[in-house]
Amino acid sequence: MESKRQQKFAGVIQQDLATIFQREGNNYLPNTMVTITKVRVTPDLAIARIFLSFFNSTNNQLALQTIKLHSSEIRYKLGARIKDQVRIIPQLEFFIDDTSEYVERMDKIFDKISKEERQKDVEE
């Protein structure tokens, strides 16, 4: 369970990183929109786990690797934005948020189940 402090700090990081990706994301990933879906912060506020979603990207793993390569530059830019609010600029760990893919997969399963039920009703 995250404390209020962690949640507030995660919100600040999410907002500032969103601005960074909106303004300069094209430098890292041309023609790809990066969305920060979730930020989780450790209790000591030293590590921020950032979950990303990529739109208009053919290879999400490659996009994630590109972001990880630029993580020190992104952390520096984040630090410039939040330096007056925190003592320590957190280490950034990036992950792919596969929630939308999971939802899509579940929708397909439910559609398949409902079609099978309709076929059974028609046969009876």
pLDDT tens for each residue of the chain, 124 residues long:
889 999 999 999 999 999 999 998 888 888 888 999 999 999 999 999 999 988 888 888 999 999 999 999 999 999 999 999 888 899 999 999 887 777 888 888 888 888 877 776 666 6
Range of the domain at 26: 4-97
Is 78:86 a contact under the CB 8 Å cutoff?
A: no
CA distance readout (Å), 8 to 11, 14, 17, 62: 5, 10, 14, 31
CA 89 to chain CA centroid, nearest Å:
19
- Number of structural domains in the chain: 1
In terms of Cα–Cα distance, which of 53, 94, 100, 46 is closest to 74? 94
Q: Does 103 reside within a domain?
A: no
CATH number assigned to the domain comprising residue 58: 3.30.300.20
